[in-house]
Structure formats: C-alpha cells, structure tokens
Amino acid sequence: MTFSISSVPARLATAFCALLLSIPTLLAADSSTEQCLTPTSRAASLLASSQPAATTPPKPHPPGMVWIPAGEFDMGGVGPEARPDEFPVHRVRLDGFWMDATEISNAEFRRFVEETGYITTAEKNPEWEEIKKQLPPGTPKPDDSVLVPGSLVFSPPAGPVPLNNHSLWWQWVKGADWKHPLGPHSRLSKAHDSLPVVHVSWDDAVAFCQWAGKRLPTEAEWEYASLGGEPARRFTWGDTPPSDSFVPANLWQGDFPHNPKTLDGHLLSAPVDSDTPNAYGLHHMIGNVWEWCADWYREDTYKRRAEIDAVSVNPQGPDSSLDPSEPSVPKRVNRGGSFLCDASYCASYRPAARMKTSPDSGMIHTGFRPVLSDPDWRRLLEKNEKPD
C-alpha cells in the first residue's frame, strides 16, 4: 500500500487547463490560460520565464536517471516547522543534472559489492583511535567486546518515553549491516531487492558513486530536485501537514516512537519505486529513507553563503563541518526525512529540512541516491564505447 508524494493539485489544474484549451470555440486560449492558473502554478510560470529552457539533453540518457533542468530557486525554510539552520532563505542557481529516480536499492548495492568486494563501514571493527576524536577528552576506551561491527537499529520502546533522549528508541546492534538490517538474524533475500539499501555510511555511499561514475548531490541540488519544478514551499505536496488522515509519503503514523499505526502500509522502508513520483520522475524524495548529500554540515552555511553572493551558483557546501551542539563530531548533510519522521519529533518531511550525521555512521533509516552531470555522462559514454 503506497501513497503519492507528487503535487496532485497542480497536476489536476494542468489537466483541467488542457481540457479548456481543447475547446477553442467556447474559450479564448489567452484568457482561459490566465484563469486556469492557480497561485502556485502562476508563480512557477513566472519563475520559469526567467530561467533557461528546460531542454533534456540528447539521448542516450543514463539508465534509471531523470533530468533535472537548470534553474533558480529560493533555498531555505518555509512554514512554522522550519528550523534556524534553514535561514536565511537565499537565491541559488544550478546547472541541470541527472539524478537517480529512486534511492539505491539492495539489488543495486549488491551488484556493487559483488563486483568490487567492498566492505561497508558497519561490517568493520570500529577504530578506537577514530572514535575517541569525537568523544570528550579522557573518555575511557570501552572493552574490546564492544568494538565489533554493528550499526544503529530502531527499537520501539514498550510505552511512551521522553522525546529528548533518542537512545530510548535507537539501539546499537552487533552484526547489523546492509545485509542484516535488524541484526544477524535478519538476512536479506531476493524478496528485499527493491527495498532501499540502509546502514550505509557516507563513505559507503561515496564509494558506490565512484564505482558507478556518479557522485552524491549537493544539498542545494537535492532540495531543488525535491521541489519538482515548483517554487519553494512548506511541503513538496503543498501546505497540508501529514497526519493520521493524510499520509502523502512513507512516514510515521501513530504515537512516536512506541505505537506505530502504519497507515501508509510500511513500518520501515518501502520499495524504492512504490510511490507516485514527483514532476521530475523522482520517487520517495520525502520519507522512506534519509539521503546522504555531499556537503559538510554547518549550522550557519546559509548565513555565510548569503553574505557573499546575491545568487549562489552551484554551491558546494562549506570546506569543513561545525555543528555547535557537537563541535567535536564532523558531520555530513542528510535530506528528505524517513519512515520514522513524525510531527511530534522532527517534522523533517520537508524539502528544506536539514539533518546532520557523522560520515562513518550508518542507520536503518539512511540511504542515498546519486547524481551525474551531463558532461560527466558524455565522458562515461565515450569511455565505455572505447575498446579495452
């Protein structure tokens, strides 16, 4: 059971306009076009008139990817859920790029592992010398029995808990990794091929992208693509917050974190192509699993950016990370929210919502989707066409 995350009202308005325009004897085309436009689509049309034509590059197109046309948008928070690190809203201009239509699936990640022998972060022993850099000075080394491969798994408590302590629903599980999402007893089978790969660190995601000749999106590219060509707005689907009676994406329903209702049919992840895609053809940009971006996280990224340029062109993120709440832990950006997102906790099912995670951390609700510039795609084609 899946639900649409696309801009249905805008699509219906477009279809209605097309119907009216097909009856020229009843309505003059110019006036009917004006009357048909909703405030949202009117704004999009005005914006589009100042942007380069959305021309899709010539075929062949990279398999499984959709074209995100060049353009400008207002990057940053909209609505009461927006957090301080989403401000100031600032103007960003991006070149066009290709983006995977779906989050990377278990089947795709297995192919990478089988071809390269790659071992993910969660499958390796944690290195104390690296971990202690992120802990308060003097933190004693834990017993070696603790420093074994594992990852973070969602573990719902038996009853209501304070929401200011995530350790009450997150558990470090030895033996949890992308092949064993819930722990050693939960080995993946072919039946799970279409689910998004999870428990991948930022380093794992980058390794996959390099193998595929692709890269992770910048957070500007991710936010722009999630909007599906619409102006910046509170949610990708409009202004209505998700609720138990409105489930526009694979999120959390019920009381978080102890009493799930799974009204969208999924307690955890859903197949990567199981929803209605947005106008660009992208599935599950909101919800399902969080998606790694290339950028280092800084709380003041937008402030620093807005001070430099009126319009930021293809912003790549800061040179290093700084999260004031955990300054010793370098973090990369995640976007889009996950099947655990709920209004009572993080409300991160928004195009502008930013999350930050240490690049060596995999979790059961975190995956990724690569992007590719068109010149890089042409170079890849040329290289593959040359005989060895």
Q: Look at the alpha carbons of 147, 107, 351, 160 in this order and tell me if their dihedral is positive or negative.
A: negative
Cβ atoms of 344 and 226 within 8 Å: the answer is: no
Shortest CB 72 distance to Ca ion, Å: 24
In the chain, the amino acid numbered 58 is P
- Among 6-14, 144-152, 256-264, 310-318, the segment contacting Ca ion (CB under 5 A): 256-264
Per CB under 5 A, which region of 59-67, 186-194, 309-317, 337-345 contacts Ca ion? Answer: 337-345
Cα separation, 239 vs 165, whole angstroms? 30
Q: How far is the CB of 195 from Ca ion (least distance, A)?
A: 12
Smallest distance from the beta carbon of 268 to Ca ion, in angstroms? 8
Minimum distance of Ca ion from residue 15's CB (angstroms): 27
Q: How far is the CB of 339 from Ca ion (least distance, A)?
A: 5
Which of 371, 372, 368 shows the shortest CA–CA distance to 104? 368
> Whole-number minimum distance, CB 287 to Ca ion, in Å?
6
The minimum distance between CB 275 and Ca ion, in angstroms, equals 10
Number of residues lying near Ca ion (CB under 5 A): 7
Judged by beta carbon, residue 73 or residue 368, the one nearer Ca ion is 368
Determine the longest span between alpha carbons in the chain, in angstroms. Answer: 82
Q: Which of 182/322 has CB closer to Ca ion?
A: 182
Q: Decide if residue 221 touches Ca ion (CB under 5 A).
A: no
- DSSP states of 313-337: ES----SS-B-TTSTTS--EEEES-
Q: If binding is defined by CB under 5 A, does position 250 make contact with Ca ion?
A: yes
Structure tokens at 242: 């998700």
Q: State the DSSP code for 215.
A: B
Q: Given the complex with Ca ion, which of 41 and 105 has the nearer CB atom? A: 105
Which residue lies nearer to Ca ion by CB, 250 or 361?
Answer: 250
Residue type, 243: S
CB nearer Ca ion, residue 152 or residue 225 = 225
Q: Of 133, 190, 204, whose CA–CA distance to 361 is shortest?
A: 204
C-beta of residue 371 within 8 angstroms of C-beta of residue 335: no
Give one DSSP letter per residue of 154-212, joined into a string.
E---SS---TT-GGGTEEEEET-BTTBTTSTT----GGGTTSBP-S--HHHHHHHHHHH
Question: Which string of x and - marks every residue 278-297 that binds Ca ion (by CB under 5 A)?
Answer: ------x---x---------
- How far, in Å, CA of 110 to CA of 116, rounded? 10
339 lies in the binding site for Ca ion (CB under 5 A): yes
Among 93, 180, 233, 266, binds Ca ion (CB under 5 A): 266
Looking up tokens 């969660």 gives 122
Considering only residues 85, 204, 221, 264, which one is a binding residue for Ca ion as defined by CB under 5 A?
264
Q: Using the rule CB under 5 A, is 302 a contact of Ca ion? A: no
- Taking CB under 5 A as the binding criterion, the range among 39-47, 242-250, 272-280, 353-361 that sits at the site for Ca ion is 242-250
Determine if 335 is a binding residue for Ca ion (CB under 5 A): no
Would you count residue 336 as binding Ca ion (CB under 5 A)? yes
Positions in the binding site for Ca ion (CB under 5 A): 250, 264, 266, 284, 288, 336, 339
